[in-house]
Amino acid sequence: MAWANQGMQALIPVINRVQDAFSQLGTNVSFELPQIAVVGGQSAGKSSVLENFVGKDFLPRGSGIVTRRPLILQLIQDRNEYAEFLHKKGHRFTDFDAVRKEIEDETDRVTGQNKGISPHPINLRVFSPNVLNLTLIDLPGLTKVPVGDQPADIETQIRDMILTFISRETCLILAVTPANSDLATSDALKLAKEVDPQGLRTIGVLTKLDLMDEGTDAREILENKLFTLRRGYVGVVNRGQKDIVGRKDIRAALDAERKFFISHPSYRHMADRLGTTYLQHTLNQQLTNHIRDTLPTLRDSLQKKMFAMEKDVAEYKNFQPNDPGRKTKALLQMVTQFNADIERSIEGSSAKLVSTNELSGGARINRLFHERFPFEIVKMEIDEKEMRKEIQFAIRNIHGIRVGLFTPDMAFEAIAKKQIARLKEPSLKCVDLVVNELANVIRQCADTMARYPRLRDELERIVVSYMREREQTAKQQIGLIVDYELAYMNTNHEDFIGFSNAEAKASQGQSAKKNLGNQVIRKGWLSVSNISFVRGSKDCWFVLTSDSLSWYKDDILYERKAEKTRRKADE
C-alpha cells in the first residue's frame, strides 16, 4: 500500500472517536472536526459512490429525497465485516439490508413520515477488511420541487443544512456531478464555490461517464484544465439502475469500471488516476493530511473547552459532595420543572410571574380559537350568484318532471349540506395551528434543560409524539362532528328559529347593506358560537359585512407586524 502512511492512518480513528463523543453530547454541530461532506444534486450518484467504497448495498434508494438526515459514515478497516449505529451501540449488523432498514426507520423516527428533513445526524460505522479509514457525511441532495406534503421551502432548508456543514473551514467538499450534464450548471460545484471560492478544499467527482453522448468525453475536466480545482477531479462509473435492479455485485461493477477506463481512448492514459478505488485512496490520503493540518487548532480549542468544563465539574463537587442520588434528583427536578412550565404557559400564569412583553402559549392558542378560526370561517368565499343557481338546479331536480308548488326542504338541505361540509377544512387547519403552537411551547419549555441535550431531546420526542397521537384523535372527532351535522339537520333548534329574529335585528342596525348571500350563512354560524370579538358590538347578534371583514384583516396584519418586531427585538 504505497498510498497510506500507516502512522498517519491512525489519525482518522482518533477523530472518529472525538466525533462520536460530540454526537452523544448533542453538540457536534457546533464543533469543527475535519470531515468530508458529500454534496450534489438529486440522483447525481452520491449514494452509489458511498456504496462502492463499502462494497455493499446498504443505503436507502428510491425517488424523491431519500437522504433526509445527514449520515455520518465512518469506514474503519477491520478483520471482520459488520456495521454499528451510534444510537444502537453494541448491536452488530452483519446483514446490510437490515442496515438500510435501520437508516430508514431512524430517519422517520426524527423527521416523521412526511418527508421532512432534519439536521440531526445518524452515525454509522462500517467495519470491513475492504475499506480504507475514511469518514464521510452523506447529505440530502439538492432539490428544486417539493413533493407530496413536503414543506414549500424544502429547497432552502436543504441548502441551509448543506451550507452549515460545508462552510466550516475544516470540511472537505466532495462535489458530485454527473458527467452527462453541464458542469457549468452543476449544483454541487455552485454550492461549493459559495463557501470555497478558490476551490481549495473542494474535490470534484464526475459520475456517469458511461452515459455521456457518443463522441463526447470529459477528458479536459478530468485533466483539470476546465473549471480548475486545486484538488482536481476524479471520474467514476457506478452501477446503473439496471445493474441495481439486477443486483449486480459491487465487485463485478468495480472490475467493469476498471475495464471501462483502460479501454476508453480518452481516458486510457490516465486510467490509474480514475475510478472508485483511486478515489477511495486519494480521499483517505487527503483527509489524513487535512486532519494533520487542522490538528493544532483542534487541540487548542478542545483543550480550552476541557479546562472550562473541568472548572465547572470542580465547582459542582465542592457544592455538594458525596451524594450519589444528587444527579437523579436534579434530573427529576428538571422534568417536574418542565411540567410546571408547560402548565403555566398554557393554563396561564400567576400575577407574579406574568410576562408583559409577549403572549404566552395559552394566550396564543386562545387567539387562534377566538380570532383566527372565526376569521378563517368568515373568509370562506361564497359566491351568491353561483349559490342561487345551485338552489335553482336543486329545486328543479327534486321536482323532476312534476311542477312543484312549494319549495322543497330537500333543496335547502342539499345546499346547506354543501356549506356545512366546507367547515371541515378551516377546522382541521385550526388543529394544525394549535399543534404548531403547542410544539413551540414544548420546545421553549424544554430549552431550560439545554445543558442536558440528550434529556431534552428525549423528553421533547416523547411529549411531541404523544401530542401527535392526540392530534389524530382530535381530527377524527372533527370529522365526526361535521358528519353528524350532515346526517341530520335539526330545524327545530332555537338557533334555527332565532335566525329570522336575527335578520330583523340586524337590518335595524347600521349595517343595512344588502348582501344576502354572505350574511345569512355567517349570521347563522355566529349565532351558534356566541362570539363577541367584534369591536364595539354590545350584542352578540350582528352581521359581518365585507366592511367589518376588512378592518378585521387589518387587525391581524397589525398583530403580525407587531410580533415580528418583537421577535427582532428579542434577537
Binding mask 50-89 for Mg ion (x = CB under 5 A): -----------------x----------------------
**Shortest CB 179 distance to ligand GDP, Å:** 8
**Shortest CB 210 distance to ligand GDP, Å:** 5
Nearest 5°: phi and psi at 33? Answer: -105, 150
Query: Per DSSP, what are the bridge partners of residue 136?
Result: 36, 73
Q: Which among ligand GDP, Mg ion, none contacts residue 208 (Cβ within 5 to 8 A by kind)?
A: ligand GDP
Query: Per DSSP, what are the bridge partners of residue 40?
Result: 176
Of the ranges 215-223, 231-239, 472-480, 512-520, which one interacts with ligand GDP (CB under 6 A)? 231-239
Q: Is 422 helix (H, G, I), strand (E, B) or coil?
A: coil
Q: Name the CA radius of gyration of the chain, rounded.
A: 32
Q: How far is CA 563 from CA 104, 342, 441, 570, in A?
A: 38, 21, 16, 10
241 interacts with ligand GDP by CB under 6 A: yes
42 interacts with ligand GDP by CB under 6 A: yes
Of 15, 28, 36, 40, the one binding ligand GDP by CB under 6 A: 40
Which letter, b or e, does each residue of 6-15 get, where b requires 16 or more Cβ atoms within 10 Å of its Cβ? eebbebbeeb
Binding mask 22-51 for Mg ion (x = CB under 5 A): -------------------------x----
Grid cell at residue 366:
386562545
HEC readout, 342-398: HHHHHHCCCCCCCCCCCCCHHHHHHHHHHHHHHHHHHHCCCCHHHHHHHHHHHHHHH
Angstrom distance (rounded) from CA 147 to CA 54: 31
Angstrom distance (rounded) from CA 202 to CA 140: 18
Nearer to Mg ion, 67 or 150 (CB): 67
Total of chain residues touching ligand GDP, rule CB under 6 A: 20
**Shortest CB 60 distance to Mg ion, Å:** 8
Nearer to ligand GDP, 236 or 346 (CB): 236
- Is 464 within 8 Å of 451 (Cβ atoms)? no
Dihedral sign for Cα 189, 194, 197, 200, please: negative
Grid cell at residue 95:
446483514
**Shortest CB 557 distance to Mg ion, Å:** 42
Angstrom distance (rounded) from CA 89 to CA 319: 34
CA dihedral 259, 40, 164, 201 (to 10 degrees): 50
Question: Cβ-count burial of 536 within 10 angstroms (0-12 exposed, 13-18 middle, 19+ buried)?
Answer: exposed
In one letter, which amino acid is 388?
R
212 interacts with ligand GDP by CB under 6 A: no
- Is 310 within 8 Å of 321 (Cβ atoms)? no
- Is 137 within 8 Å of 166 (Cβ atoms)? no
Binding mask 140-169 for ligand GDP (x = CB under 6 A): -x----------------------------
Nearer to Mg ion, 46 or 522 (CB): 46
Nearer to ligand GDP, 13 or 240 (CB): 240
In one letter, which amino acid is 568?
K
**Shortest CB 182 distance to ligand GDP, Å:** 17
**Shortest CB 47 distance to ligand GDP, Å:** 3
Nearer to ligand GDP, 16 or 207 (CB): 207
The DSSP output letter for 93 is: B
**Shortest CB 41 distance to ligand GDP, Å:** 7
Q: Which among ligand GDP, Mg ion, none contacts residue 210 (Cβ within 5 to 8 A by kind)?
A: ligand GDP
Of 3, 25, 61, 156, the one binding ligand GDP by CB under 6 A: 61
Q: Which among ligand GDP, Mg ion, none contacts residue 231 (Cβ within 5 to 8 A by kind)?
A: none
Nearer to ligand GDP, 174 or 459 (CB): 174
- Is 183 within 8 Å of 221 (Cβ atoms)? yes
549 interacts with ligand GDP by CB under 6 A: no
Nearer to ligand GDP, 42 or 277 (CB): 42
Nearer to Mg ion, 39 or 449 (CB): 39
Of 28, 35, 47, 143, the one binding ligand GDP by CB under 6 A: 47
**Shortest CB 227 distance to ligand GDP, Å:** 19
Of 20, 32, 155, 210, the one binding ligand GDP by CB under 6 A: 210
Q: Angle at CA 520, nearest 5°, toward 514 and 526?
A: 120
Residues that bind ligand GDP (CB under 6 A): 40, 42-48, 61, 141, 207-208, 210-211, 237-241, 244
Using CB under 5 A, list all residues that contact Mg ion: 47, 67
